């Protein structure tokens, strides 16, 4: 397996493949299908920032623990949105992860295994290259909770197109990896048993590319990111504080369809 250095965090673990000069960041919350949490958002951000000046890492892979789920969405359990300051803090914490990936001057490869809903789809979306196993399933569940998928309706428009983003956001329907490959979000779909082999070979190959050219290319590709994240921070807190989100969470906990718009 080569020379691997592992560091464990609360919601993820990092394995540095020192001989090949790439790292694998694995989301690890198995009891919740690797759902995103404020702690996970922060840890992703801190880990990605740590790679900036790490000469041992010249490419990064982001994947999920196990075959069942990459990340099944954002876990709002335990969060209260009774104060606007809580709402703003939550969206800023979410953006820590997304912005750190886009700002990292190294290629980040998403290796999607299993469910990628909501946060899971969006964290893959902001990666530079996306590989998906043939058992992956994608979807935007935010509308079910009275929310909107802020990253997809901003950062995702140029990748997926307005009509496709609108349909995914408004319906919350699942989308297959083959469809998203045809739509331009996924680069390659591989059999699930070959995903590790595929991302390992790709990461090792990219780690040998010219680092300054990679950094400059990524900076130009993602030059509009900052404005989009600030826009989300101005929009999302009001939604988090709404009665629709209260109803969406209550309906989810009670395993029923939400009834929105009633006061």
Are 56 and 21 within 8 A, CB to CB? yes
- From residue 67, give the alpha-carbon distance in Å to each of 4, 24, 28, 33, 149: 21, 16, 12, 10, 25
What confidence score (pLDDT) does residue 95 get?
95
Angle of helix 38-51 relative to helix 84-103, nearest 10 degrees, comes to 30
Collapsed DSSP state (helix, strand, coil) of residue 186? coil
Helix (H) or strand (E) holding 108: strand 107-112
pLDDT given at position 1 = 57
Residues annotated as part of the active site: 122, 142
252 Cβ contact partners less than 8 Å away, ≥ 6 residues apart: 144, 145, 258
Q: What 3-state class would DSSP assign to 196?
A: helix
* Extents of the domains making up the chain: 4-194+207-214
Alpha helices in the chain (DSSP H): 38-51, 84-103, 119-125, 157-160, 162-171, 177-183, 195-207, 211-221, 225-240, 243-254
In Å, how far from its chain's centre is CA 184? 16
pLDDT at 78 (0 to 100): 62
What tokens appear for 190 in the block?
Answer: 């591989």
66 — alpha (psi -120 to 50), left (phi > 0) or beta? left
Per the CB < 8 A criterion, the answer to whether 184 and 159 are in contact is: yes
In residues, how long is the chain? Answer: 263
What is the pTM for the complete model shown? 0.94
Consecutive 10-residue runs of the chain (263 residues): their mean pLDDT? 91 98 98 95 98 97 96 80 84 95 98 97 98 97 92 95 97 97 97 97 98 97 91 89 86 88 65
Out of 3.30.350.10, 2.30.40.10, 1.10.645.10, 3.90.226.10, the CATH code matching 4-194+207-214 is 3.90.226.10
* Dihedral sign, Cα of residue 30, residue 34, residue 40, residue 43: positive
Quote the pLDDT of residue 253: 83
């Amino acid at each position: 397996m080569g020379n691997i250095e592992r560091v464990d965090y609360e919601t993820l673990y990092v394995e540095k493949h020192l001989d090949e000069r790439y790292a694998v960041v694995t989301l690890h919350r198995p009891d919740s299908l690797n759902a995103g949490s404020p702690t996970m958002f922060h840890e992703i951000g801190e880990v990605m920032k740590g790679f900036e000046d790490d000469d041992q890492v010249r490419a990064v892979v982001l994947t999920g623990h196990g075959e069942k789920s990459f990340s099944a969405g954002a876990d709002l359990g335990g969060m209260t949105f009774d104060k606007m300051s809580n709402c703003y803090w939550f969206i800023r914490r979410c953006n820590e992860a997304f912005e750190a990936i886009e700002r990292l001057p190294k290629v980040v490869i998403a290796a999607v295994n299993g469910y990628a809903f909501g946060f899971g789809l969006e964290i893959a979306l902001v990666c530079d290259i996306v590989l998906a196993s043939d058992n992956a399933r994608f979807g935007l569940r935010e509308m079910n909770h009275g929310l909107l998928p802020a990253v997809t309706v901003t950062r995702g428009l140029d990748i997926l197109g307005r009509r496709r983003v609108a349909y995914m956001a408004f319906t919350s329907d699942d989308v297959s990896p083959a469809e998203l490959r045809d739509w331009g979000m996924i680069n390659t779909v591989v059999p699930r048993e070959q995903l590790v082999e595929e991302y390992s070979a790709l990461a090792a190959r990219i780690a040998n590319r010219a680092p300054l050219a990679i950094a400059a290319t990524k900076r130009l590709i993602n030059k509009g990111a900052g404005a989009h994240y600030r826009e989300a921070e101005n929009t999302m807190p009001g939604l988090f504080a709404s009665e629709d989100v209260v109803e969406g969470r209550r309906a989810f906990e009670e395993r029923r369809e939400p009834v929105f718009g009633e006061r």
